[in-house]
Structure 1
Amino acid sequence: MKAIVQDVYGSADVLQLRDIPTPAPAEGEVLIRVRAAGVDQGVWHLMTGMPYLVRLFGFGLKKPKVPVRGREVAGVVEAVGAGVTRFQPGDEVFGTCEGSFAEFVCAKEKLVARKPANLTFEETAAAPISAVTALQAVRDAGRVAPGQKVLVIGAGGGVGSFAVQVARAFGAEVTGVCSTGKMDLVRSLGASHVIDYTRDDFSRAGVLYDVIVDTAGNRPRSVSRKALAPKGTLVIVGGEGGGKLTGGFERSLGAPFASLFSGQKFKGLVSTEKYQDLEALTSMIEAGSVKPAIEKAYPLAEAPAAVASLHEGRVRGKVVVRI
């Protein structure tokens, strides 16, 4: 089968299209014929091995432990391993795995759910990580309730575009923060208000929010807390732009300690992968509350360009790889 493979850490140039053996599902796994694969920020971190914290988490100290990139997948079950009870060959599914930039990939049954009936494979592939992260940020960490004011920083990106829709579905009044070129997209996703961060500073606008979901990963907590209600919650999703060791993740790591000295709550989100949240997301998608925003679908051979465009911040919503 064809797959996007890397032998060493580095920029998108290290990614190569190669022929490699087709995997076989182990116990508790399903073999998926990949129709599309999502591109999330995690792909860039695993590709570069940066920050070094990524390598310490077991992804390979000197080179990637799993050479095939990609973690979000949508496709059709080709075969099932021993013990699999929820799926059979022919089922259309989506979920997370290791190595989805390939014609076939094995995924654990517990990380896969049935594909939303009203989405294409390309649309579905954008959701497993980005949308589930947004769901956990809004529902679990932020505990967003009807009538609350919610600010989403990075509203035009992968997680942010889903967070706007999920918060709105939970009954919140949503304000999105994004760049000029993404404002129309954020409005179309249901944001009641949109702030262009290149022109205006949300922390000086005089509006206080019950929940702030920061998906941009590069602002100090001190900036966001100025716009946070006295008993509000700041949810920090991921981290970018920091040093080589932690890469900005220290914002999330230090959040719980900051809460000890304030009536405001600061939470660093570490998303978890489970099929129950995929099923919850499917219900929202099929009800029309959430829909992936796809800027472009790249063919498999152009996956390196897809990863590069995402990291450069030019993407409105998500990009996916079409198999």
Structure 2
Amino acid sequence: MKAAVLRAYGGPENIQITDLPEPIPKPGQVLVRLQATTVNSGDARVRALDVPAGMALPFRLAMGWHRPRQPILGTEGAGVVVACGEGADRFRVGQAVVVFPGGRMGSHAELITMPQDGKIIAKPATLSMQEAACMMFGGLTAVDFLRRKAGLREGEHVLITGATGTVGSAAVQIAGILGAVVTGVASAGNLATLKDLGAETCIDYRLGPIALPLRPYDVILDCAGTLPYPQAKRLLAPGGRLIRVWAELAEMITAPLIGRRAGHRVIAGVSAEKREDMLTLAEWAEAGLYRPLIDSVTPFADIAKAHRLASTGHKRGSAVVEFAVPQTPA
């Protein structure tokens, strides 16, 4: 099989398309031939060793000092089951599925093995393979932070920065599904897209903090890394929650204490990756409530181009990478 392999941390040029042996599913595993995957901000950060302040040493210890121990990046994808290991009967050969290897990565390859009881679900019939491939990275982050950690409730007002990125575009839709009133911040060229996603109020980020309405927000989801607590404080309602998607180590450690005196709560850290949330996202997609936003579709042979796009911090939705295999109907 062909795989995009990272031999050393650095720029997109360090990604090389390589021929590797095809994996064989073990008992309880299924083998999936991927039709599409993504290069998201997480992939770009791992590749470039671009981690929040204070995280470089723990990251190298966990992931690999000079190069990642897992040289095949990629956290999500969609494809078709092509083989099942002994005892793996939850999925059938030929079935279209969505996979989320998440932190163990591995989806930047034509084939991937997944435990049948792991983060793999049937592909929603309402989504194309390209859309299904990019439904989880942003969607799972948004569901965990908004619904589980912040407890977003119907009728609450939520402010989302970076609202047309992978996480932000999912969060705008999910906040709306949960019944919140959404204000989104994005570039001027993306405001129409932001409106289509369901934001009631759309603000050009180039106008700066002065453009943000002083309406008290119950929840602020900072996907862009532009609203640390000292700047967000004036925008939070009593009991308000600030979610910092990208936070430095010091902020992650001190988050439970920040804002407590003012009656606020700061949430920072890593989002959970739960199969139950994958099923929830699939249900919303089937109901026509959730559809991932795609910035571009790049052939797998040009995956370095998708890495360059992901590194800019200005993509709209997901950078999808498509494998050169026939499309299989769901």
Q: What TM-score do you get using the length of structure 2 for normalisation?
A: 0.90
Q: Partners of 1:195 and 1:286 in 2: how far apart? A: 30
Change in CA separation of 1:164 and 1:309 when aligned onto 2, cut-off 3 Å:
same
Quick check: 267-276 or 184-193, which moved more? 267-276
Paired residues for 1:269-280 under 5 Å: 269-280=269-280
Q: Partners of 1:45 and 1:81 in 2: how far apart? A: 33
2:163 paired with 1:155: yes
Quick check: 185-194 or 216-225, which moved more? 216-225
Residue 265 of structure 1 aligns with which residue?
265
Of 69, 86, 94, the residue aligned with 1:90 is 94
| Cα deviation 1:38-60 (Å, max 9, x = unaligned) | 22211012212333256346211
The answer on whether the counterparts of 1:212 and 1:233 sit within 8 Å (CA) in structure 2 is: yes
Of 129, 133, 142, the residue aligned with 2:141 is 133
Residue 175 of structure 1 aligns with which residue?
183
Q: CA RMSD in A?
A: 1.8
Paired residues for 1:93-108 under 5 Å: 93-97=97-101, 98-108=105-115
Q: Partners of 1:39 and 1:202 in 2: how far apart? A: 33
Residue 242 of structure 1 aligns with which residue?
none
Letter in 1 for 2:275: Y
Residue 81 of structure 2 aligns with which residue?
77
Letter in 1 for 2:298: Y
SS of residue matched to 1:107: strand
SS of residue matched to 1:86: coil
Change in CA separation of 1:299 and 1:273 when aligned onto 2, cut-off 3 Å:
same
Residue 326 of structure 2 aligns with which residue?
none
The answer for unaligned runs of 5 or more in structure 1 is 240-247
Letter in 2 for 1:322: E
Q: Partners of 1:203 and 1:209 in 2: how far apart? A: 15
Q: Partners of 1:222 and 1:9 in 2: how far apart? A: 34
Q: Partners of 1:173 and 1:218 in 2: how far apart? A: 21
| Cα deviation 1:4-40 (Å, max 9, x = unaligned) | 1111111111001111111112343321100100222
Paired residues for 1:273-288 under 5 Å: 273-288=273-288
| Cα deviation 1:187-242 (Å, max 9, x = unaligned) | 11000001111014268532110111111124322111221102111111124xxx
Change in CA separation of 1:83 and 1:215 when aligned onto 2, cut-off 3 Å:
farther
Paired residues for 1:27-106 under 5 Å: 27-51=27-51, 52-53=56-57, 55-56=59-60, 58-97=62-101, 98-106=105-113
Report the alpha carbon displacement of residue 249 of structure 1 after superposing the two structures with TM. Answer: 4.5
Quick check: 188-197 or 127-136, which moved more? 127-136
The answer on whether the counterparts of 2:203 and 2:212 sit within 8 Å (CA) in structure 1 is: no
SS of residue matched to 1:171: coil
Residue 4 of structure 2 aligns with which residue?
4
Residue 185 of structure 1 aligns with which residue?
193
Letter in 1 for 2:25: P
Q: Partners of 2:279 and 2:160 in 1: how far apart? A: 24
Residue 244 of structure 1 aligns with which residue?
none
Report the alpha carbon displacement of residue 181 of structure 1 after superposing the two structures with TM. Answer: 2.0
Residue 328 of structure 2 aligns with which residue?
none
Q: Partners of 2:277 and 2:171 in 1: how far apart? A: 14
